[in-house]
Structure 1
Amino acid sequence: MDWISPRKLKRLGMLNMNRRNVDYIARYNDRSSYPLVDNKLKTRLVVREYGVTTPKLLQVVRQQHEISHFRQIVEGMPGFAIKPAKGSGGKGITVVTGRENEDYVKASGARVGVSVLERHLTNILAGLYSLAGSPDVAIVESLVQSSPDLARYSHQGVPDIRIVVFQGYPVMAMLRLATTDSDGKANLHQGAVGVGLDIGTGKSLNAVQFNRPATLHPDTGLPLDNIHIDAWEQMLEMASRCYEATGLGYMGVDLVVDANEGPLLLELNARPGLAIQMANGRGLLPRLKNIESLKRPHFSPMERVRYAMSTFAASEGNLQP
């Protein structure tokens, strides 16, 4: 996979943070929609009306007394995830992958008792992980069983796919793979591997870790240049539908591929980061300008997806300036 220097990326239309904030987030995202995407519970309820599937909801904990029902609900479950509704950047998410006697086994392999998980629920309610420390709600979801084809590339954590959607068009995508450095989380800033994906085909283009080129996963040792995402067009359509669901013109859509359920939405982000450009070795600006220049935008999600797949495919030169 070819490495493109940051200087060359800028020449190729790399979007910087100031321009992202002013020209795209501030201009195309109505602030009235932010509470919808900043709250995972509200997000899952609204996208469901637009045919976008999410992991099964096991429990919503709004009050302290409701924690007493937690151990009964998860008893016998093969695994589950606890998330703060208003958490960001993966903070406060606890993933349980199994059970050993009375202990629960986390994705990292650590074992904890139910009292530790109940205390974690209390901390979520208190707003320990929420934006501005405001009181929060805890969500308990079924465990995502990652597709084996993708799971083998990731270390401990579930790999996910970030798609940047502009005016309902999927314009850039990457696969995020957990590593030892990222503590099993698919977070690039913490050391996950970002693999750029061809919008046209769902195949890997380029990969980075800590903004440096990567050809092999540091833990699994598997090559990153021949990855292909199944049900790619379906995932792009799911991401596109989130535009109608939220009204947000510029957002990040995070999806996973479950072995049994297929593509599922994890969350939406009204302020998606820019590392996706490094993972792709390409800048966002040419693609965003292309959409802005459309005289007749496409009204259905599938029409927008087909336009994006044909226009932004690697074989089309990615609209480099």
Structure 2
Amino acid sequence: MPAWLPRFVRPRLLKEQGIVGMNARNARYIAAWNARRFYPRVDDKLQTKQLALDAGLAVPELYGVVRTHRQIRDVRTQLPTYTDGFVIKPAHGAAGDGILVIEGWRGDRPRRAGGRAMELSELDDHMSNILSGMYSLGGRPDVAMIEQRVRFSSIFDSVSYRGVPDIRTVVYRGYPVMAMMRLPTQDSDGKANLHQGAVGTGIDLGSGRTIGGVRYNKPCREHPDSEQSIVGLQIPGWEQLMELAAGCYELSQMGYLGVDVVIDADRGPLILELNARPGLAIQIANGEGLDHRITAVEAHMVARETEMPAERARWAAEVFARPENTQPDEPEAPATATNPA
């Protein structure tokens, strides 16, 4: 248990700080606003990408899709044409499992993130494992997607271990309400997954600057591997990112949504995937509970007719901006509980 976390937290304190627990999230937000018929729009990454393309939202380029074992050999012969690398991932994977990042080539052999060269037969095996359902939810047969490798902005070089950092934004009924950047570490094996040891750093919605963060549920201010500060980093293309996140409401038809975006050095913010069940550690990273912000959105919507994504993003950036004198200091970690009602 973290040193700053008391062994018992009074429910009144949780309510005062606006902390949303898992029961409240599941009942008041996910069950109330996320209709089951729309889950395939976010659980199937291939469907998510097609919907985003149809809506004109920016996503990493899709190079190909492998649906059968017979297609593996044909697709593999095309891979050397992607000289800047590529990514192979399952359409129904979770927690980053099954994602293989190829950074380039060493002669006729693909080179993984970290520099290790692979045999082409290893790519065949990996795609075959994806098709068999090794990485999919419930072990169901899956399809393999081959995508553009994102070349992330160099501003994150000193605070990311090998992998690509991403930005998770929680969107409530079309309005961005909270965001954090997830930074890969050695413990997380280069994946931007908090459960595996990545760092989550809160972001001021008004400025797009990081404000300190959390790792293993403990507040932190530095990246554990590089010991570089994670406070005060400016996210490139922040206004565009906020508008992208807001636009995913129409795309998904879900009222409580996690939008994961990566920053490509050339193309700017790109939608990576959507999540119908975004976790709650984002509250610790931001030092603030979600409930007060969600209440503000509901009050705003009472007096408003339908707003476009850009309008919703601007409103959220203005209303949820942190005061100037609190930037870029690390927020105090809020009181929290594992599963408050």
Rounded to whole Å, the distance in 2 between the matches of 1:102 and 1:234 is 38
Q: How do 1:40-189 and structure 2 match up within 5 A?
A: 40-77=45-82, 78-189=84-195
Residue 4 of structure 1 and its aligned partner are, at CA, apart by 7.3
Q: TM-score, normalised by structure 2?
A: 0.89
Question: 1:206 is matched with which residue?
Answer: 212
Q: Secondary structure of the equivalent of 1:140? A: strand
Hey, what's the Cα distance between the residues in 2 that align with 1:151 and 1:305? 28
Determine the C-alpha separation between the residues in 1 that align with 2:30 and 2:192: 23
Amino acid at match of 1:123: N
What amino acid does structure 2 have at the position aligned with 1:19?
Answer: A
**Equivalent residue letter for 1:227:** L
Partner of 2:315: 307
Ranges in structure 2 where 5+ consecutive residues have no aligned partner: 335-341
Give, in whole Å, the separation in 1 of the partners of 2:65 and 2:268: 24
Query: Structure 1 219/285 Cα, relative in aligned 2: closer, same or farther at 3 Å?
Result: same
* 1:296–1:207 CA distance, 2 compared to 1 (3 A): same
Deviations 1:68-96 (A, max 9, x none): 12222111422110010011111111111
Query: What is the correspondence of 1:278-289 to structure 2 with a 5 Å cutoff?
Result: 278-289=284-295
Number of matched residues?
317
1:194 equivalent to 2:181? Answer no
Aligned-residue offset at 1:28:
0.4
Q: Is the 8 A contact 2:219 2:284 kept in 1?
A: no
In 2, distance between residues paired with 1:289 and 1:4?
27
Runs of 4+ in structure 1 off by over 3 angstroms are: 3-11
Q: Distance in 1 between matches of 2:132 and 2:278?
A: 26
Q: CA separation in 2, counterparts of 1:24 and 1:245?
A: 18
Change (3 A) 1:59 1:226: same
Deviation at 1:104, TM superposition (A): 2.1
Say if 2:325 is the partner of 1:296: no
SS in structure 1 at match of 2:111: strand
1:219-248 Cα offsets, whole Å, 9 max, x none, are 122111121112111100001111011111
Q: 1:205 deviation in Å?
A: 1.4
How far did residue 9 of structure 1 move? 6.2
Q: TM-score, normalised on structure 1? A: 0.94
RMSD of equivalent CA atoms: 2.0
